[in-house]
Structure 1
Amino acid sequence: MKKGTYNRFWRWHFFGALFMAPLLITLTLSGIGYLFYNNVENAAYKDLFFGNSDETYQLTIDEGISLVKQENDGFEVSKIMIMDEPYNTRLTLTSDSGEEKYVFLDKHNEIVGSQNPKFTYANIMRNIHSSLFAGGTVVNYLVELAACWAIFLLFSGLYMTFKSRALKKPKKSTRRLKFKRIHALIGTIITIPMIILIFTGLPWSAFMGNFIYTASQEHPSIGTPLLQQQPPTSDMSEIPWATRKEEAPESEKPDPHANHGGHGNMPGMDMENDGISVEKLMWKVRDEKISKPYSIVYPFSEDGVFTVSKGSNTGVTGMDVSPAEEMTSYFDQYSGDLISKVGYDEYGILAKWFTWGIPLHEGHLFGWPNKIINLVVCLAFLFLIFYGFKMWLSRKRKGNLSAPPKTTSSISIGFIALMVILGVIMPLFGISLLIVLAIEGILYLVTKGKDTSNVN
């Protein structure tokens, strides 16, 4: 590539880093916080997760659920997390206004306590990391855009490192060259692991994540299995990524003369009168050799089903399983019979890739080593940003931005090809590139106009 290409990379790398650094620092720090959410929550919520109620009378799970409903007027039970020992069972309650509450039951199915989901450590870290705790489409797109620009910064930095031989020790070292060498060395080492981390996090992004999931749904041979189903619930955060938007099958509507009643089972209804009890459903689950931990999502209509699932990226402390153990099964709400079951083996290659990639991104795919590797990469990325700014400040002139010089040379085919490839792979990045090009074009015309007027 020509010298002009190097300067163009340098200029875009500079401005990209300058504008995206605050976001990238926030995402990295919140990502580090989320890496250890299980460990933090096990300690912070020890009484809720592992403690016992003062009541020692043994209740059935259904009696425990009825007690929860009595003590939480206006709320209905929508989900149950059946945890493995020593964790307590967690119920998710939802009100008509959309407010949520977590309630925990001990081994006697007695109430231990409750939580406001908005302020749990895991949810705070997740909301900061995915939407800066502000939410909204624009913010979600902005977070995704920062991730896309991070990939460009890594690629462009790698190009400039080898083009300028920044890793070679200079004969006469200066402060700026020292910072440049450290910046280049860190960037070279973490480029591949950082790109892996970013791409394994994109399934949760607003624009590209939806595109990936849609592709996975529309092409079952490479994505998720095709089921003729009806959505079981509007919020399925504990259901595996690969089947989260799958439509659930319908329960066979009962004979209206068979004491089932003619109305539907909304979340939290008395299942003993209108359908199979949770305790009996759990027997059916055991018969299907589905082991703990798993979640139960209530049916939402008279032809809805119980959704029982095991996920590798639930975001719930104590609920994650190995990707190979992921499964989503659907049980008839009246008979409790298994209607259909989708397991990891039925996933296409795209769904399998992200089923492994998401827990890798979250740091719990292979235990503590995964957390430590992710932590080291994230800390290195923060040092990369730090030394990048140190390098800029070491050459910055007072009262001047000291941005890399503009280049008037023609754009090389290699540069165009790389930008097109990145723009196609990351559409939001491609759109932002068009905006950058438009701004550069306007600045060029303004500068050219001033030069012409000065000549005249």
Structure 2
Amino acid sequence: MSIVSEPEEIVPPPAPAAPVAPATPNAWKGLAVRLHFYAGLFAAPFILVAAVTGALYALAPQLESWVYADQLTTSSTGSELPLATQVDAALATNPGGTLDAVRTAPEPGTTTRVLFNRDDLGESERWTVFVDPVTAEVKGEMATYGGSGALPLRTTVSQLHRNLMLGEPGRIYSEMAASWMWFVALGGLVLWVARWRAKRKRRIADLVRPEPGVKGRRRLVGRHGAVGVWLLAGMLFLSATGLTWSTYAGANISTIRSNLGWTTPKLETGAPSGGGHDGHGAAAPAEPPPAVSSATFDSVLGTARRAGIDAGALEIATPASAGALWTVTEIKTSLPTEADKISVDASTGTVVDTVRFDDWPLMAKLTTWTIAGHMGTLFGIANQLLLLAFAIGLIAVILLGYRMWWLRRPTKGGVPSPLAPRGQFRKLSQPVGFAVVLAAVVVGWFAPLFGISLVAFLAFDAWRGHRAVTRAAARAAAS
């Protein structure tokens, strides 16, 4: 009887462990390409809106001077009347509210502004009556905004640029733009320099001009990169200064400035905490301010002149509360900057405190100058033209970037050809990967909207990768 043995069970060999991708020298470039792509795709709309509204704001001072010429200028010539006469003329219009301050005519041919606080105005707004300093004729009245005294047209453009006219929630858009602009700029620079280094013949001029003699997408890339290099310094500058006005990153900047002693020196005004004229919209003091005599403006101005406050553009502010002092502030932030200020006891005609711009910490001066540069007021019309040219260039770079993406977009039935596939981070060495994560955490803490949106971008990319794998597996199973 023959015995047939059962076949031996064949045990398949164990599956080899998934190989760990070694660190590659070009992994950082691939990661930069991928991050720049996502930053450009998702953050560029915020930057684009900021650039368009910023271009409008760059033109706003000239438009304001033209639209409101009747209120801002006068053809009267001769000696200026006392401030008391000009204030009385403003009071005669029954503007309502309480008399807050007077801004003297900065130069011949311009009007004096008499400012009032009113309950029906928004935050940082004051009702302003424009008075001819020679004839005391009232030239008009309207609401003005902020320390710059912006008129309604410029205020509207400013709010559009700041928050899209959506109030505090709308400031998220501008903070997103400022938070990502520096990242997009530096990422683009890294890629542009890497592209330049890969050429056989490298010339410095090729870093600042498009590649000649090419067509199609290569021509778009050349223009996108070259213009981006020209805009790099401006993007970093506007990103940094824009963050100082932001809600979340701005709060961190204020804390850092305070801890390092970089804040503007405070003037002793005798007002209780929370009072003063800095806020123009802060909570009212416990005791209302005393009645103000219009003649006091002249005596306070005389005291200020004798104390060396000699600028043409001045704001003379009434006491914010009972027992507080008058203040006189130079308000010229352009170069050369005039920002001295004093507090005056009007009852005795004595100067109580003085803060000179020359004594400000260097960082406080730089903050004033950079903000003025951001607003286009640091060096006059040249500043405005520079901002306008920058905004136009930035709009062009963003549109070129989207055109480049459109040419590489996934088509129906087709497969996209990304410059850097997923998994670039895993190709980094451990020290470099740790440094990247640490830097992202630090920047994300400092600029929270940057950190939150970065996590959202990465989660979206991971979801798309998971979906692609799932679909590929489904297709394989079906076939």
d(CA) in 2 for partners of 1:207 and 1:87?
A: 39
d(CA) in 1 for partners of 2:373 and 2:40?
A: 26
d(CA) in 1 for partners of 2:415 and 2:279?
A: 47
d(CA) in 1 for partners of 2:117 and 2:229?
A: 48
Map 1:267-346; keep pairs closer than 5 Å.
269-271=291-293, 277-291=296-310, 292-312=312-332, 320-322=333-335, 324-346=337-359
% same residue: 23
Map 1:111-260; keep pairs closer than 5 Å.
111-117=138-144, 120-136=152-168, 138-165=169-196, 173-220=214-261, 222-225=262-265, 230=271, 231-233=275-277, 235=279
d(CA) in 2 for partners of 1:170 and 1:21?
A: 24
Residue 12 (structure 1) shift:
2.9
Superposed CA deviations along residues 397-426 of structure 1, whole A, max 9, x for unmatched, are 445895846412416316446535643553
State the superposition RMSD in angstroms. 3.4
Tell me the amino acid that sits aligned with residue 161 of structure 1. Answer: W
Residue 234 (structure 1) shift:
5.6
1:46 matched to 2:69: yes
Residue 105 (structure 1) shift:
0.5
Larger CA deviation: 385-394 vs 65-74: 65-74
Q: Secondary structure at the match of 1:271?
A: coil
Map 1:339-358; keep pairs closer than 5 Å.
339-358=352-371
d(CA) in 2 for partners of 1:171 and 1:217?
A: 51
Corresponding residue for residue 451 of structure 2: 430
d(CA) in 1 for partners of 2:73 and 2:249?
A: 39
Tell me the amino acid that sits aligned with residue 129 of structure 2. Answer: V
- Cα 1:366–1:98, aligned 2, differ >3 Å: closer, same or farther? closer
Tell me the amino acid that sits aligned with residue 329 of structure 2. Answer: S
Superposed CA deviations along residues 119-156 of structure 1, whole A, max 9, x for unmatched, are 622212211121122221x3213211111111111111
Structure 2 residue aligned with 1:265, among 283, 289, 313? Answer: 289
Q: Secondary structure at the match of 1:164?
A: helix
Indicate conservation of the 8 Å contact 1:89/1:106, yes or no. Answer: yes
Indicate conservation of the 8 Å contact 1:60/1:109, yes or no. Answer: no
d(CA) in 1 for partners of 2:278 and 2:369?
A: 25
Tell me the amino acid that sits aligned with residue 271 of structure 1. Answer: S
Residue 18 (structure 1) shift:
2.6
d(CA) in 2 for partners of 1:116 and 1:451?
A: 62
State the TM-score, normalizing by the size of structure 1. Answer: 0.79
1:15 matched to 2:35: no
1:105 matched to 2:131: yes
Q: Secondary structure at the match of 1:183?
A: helix
Corresponding residue for residue 103 of structure 2: 81
1:384 matched to 2:397: yes
Residue 59 (structure 1) shift:
6.1
Indicate conservation of the 8 Å contact 1:307/1:330, yes or no. Answer: yes
Larger Rg: 2
Tell me the amino acid that sits aligned with residue 310 of structure 1. Answer: E
d(CA) in 2 for partners of 1:10 and 1:96?
A: 53
Residue segments in structure 1 that go unaligned for 5+ positions in a row:
238-244, 251-262, 313-319
- Cα 1:50–1:346, aligned 2, differ >3 Å: closer, same or farther? same
Q: Secondary structure at the match of 2:243?
A: helix
- Cα 1:373–1:434, aligned 2, differ >3 Å: closer, same or farther? same
1:64 matched to 2:108: no
Superposed CA deviations along residues 380-407 of structure 1, whole A, max 9, x for unmatched, are 2111112112222223344589584641
d(CA) in 2 for partners of 1:145 and 1:52?
A: 46
Q: Secondary structure at the match of 2:114?
A: strand
Residue 102 (structure 1) shift:
1.9
Corresponding residue for residue 406 of structure 2: 393
Tell me the amino acid that sits aligned with residue 192 of structure 1. Answer: A
d(CA) in 2 for partners of 1:124 and 1:114?
A: 17
Q: Secondary structure at the match of 1:40?
A: helix
- Cα 1:363–1:111, aligned 2, differ >3 Å: closer, same or farther? same
Residue 89 (structure 1) shift:
0.5
Corresponding residue for residue 17 of structure 2: none
d(CA) in 2 for partners of 1:4 and 1:381?
A: 28
Larger CA deviation: 323-332 vs 179-188: 323-332
d(CA) in 1 for partners of 2:463 and 2:351?
A: 63
Tell me the amino acid that sits aligned with residue 303 of structure 2. Answer: K
d(CA) in 2 for partners of 1:445 and 1:152?
A: 27
Aligned residues: 417
d(CA) in 1 for partners of 2:325 and 2:255?
A: 24
Q: Secondary structure at the match of 1:134?
A: coil
State the TM-score, normalizing by the size of structure 2. Answer: 0.76
- Cα 1:383–1:182, aligned 2, differ >3 Å: closer, same or farther? same
Indicate conservation of the 8 Å contact 1:224/1:347, yes or no. Answer: yes
Superposed CA deviations along residues 176-217 of structure 1, whole A, max 9, x for unmatched, are 111011101111222123212322333222222333233333
- Cα 1:304–1:13, aligned 2, differ >3 Å: closer, same or farther? same
d(CA) in 2 for partners of 1:192 and 1:411?
A: 31
d(CA) in 2 for partners of 1:280 and 1:437?
A: 64
Q: Secondary structure at the match of 1:329?
A: strand
Indicate conservation of the 8 Å contact 1:364/1:370, yes or no. Answer: yes
Indicate conservation of the 8 Å contact 2:58/2:385, yes or no. Answer: no
d(CA) in 1 for partners of 2:216 and 2:458?
A: 33
Residue segments in structure 2 that go unaligned for 5+ positions in a row:
1-23, 146-150, 199-205
d(CA) in 1 for partners of 2:64 and 2:347?
A: 36
